[in-house]
Amino acid sequence: MLRRRRADLNLSLRELSAQIGVPFSTLSRVESGKIPDLTTFRNIVEWLGVSPERFFPTPRVRNETTPEIVEQVLRSDPALSEKARDQLSSVVTQMYAALTVNVQPVQIHLRADQAFVPKASELLADLLQEMQDKLISEEAI
């Protein structure tokens, strides 16, 4: 994008460097695919007139569960009959439910947290962690 815009404006690397305050050697490295530091990045996107967010895609939020994704793949497999797809989907769903572990970390709020000295809160955190670990290990049995 940088190289294309610079070429459209018929600018050399040195001319662009003078305009945006980034060393021409750095601009050359960016044009060849190297990732710039934050200050250089900010100067370049400002000169390009694009939003910095354009270069940081938002993570996809997955709405489907793993068994639902497996079922979609099975449904698109032409080698399977409808009955076979249903059976496989059912087995995967049952196995997934039986084998997944839903670990919820223990969280507490102490109304009198300011009354605790740091050592007391560390001891309490250690105790709660031990309790959680013990509960998780008993679930696995």
**CA 41 to CA 27: how far, in whole Å?**
10
- Residue written as token pair 């797809």: 85
pLDDT of residue 28: 94
Note whether 67 and 92 are within 8 A (CB). Answer: yes
Of residues 91, 53, 51, 57, the one with CA closest to residue 71: 91
Give pLDDT tens digits for 93-140.
Answer: 888 888 887 766 666 565 655 555 666 667 777 888 888 888 887 766
Which residues are CB-neighbours of 13 under 8 A, at least 6 positions away?
Answer: 6, 24, 27, 28, 31
pLDDT of residue 18: 94
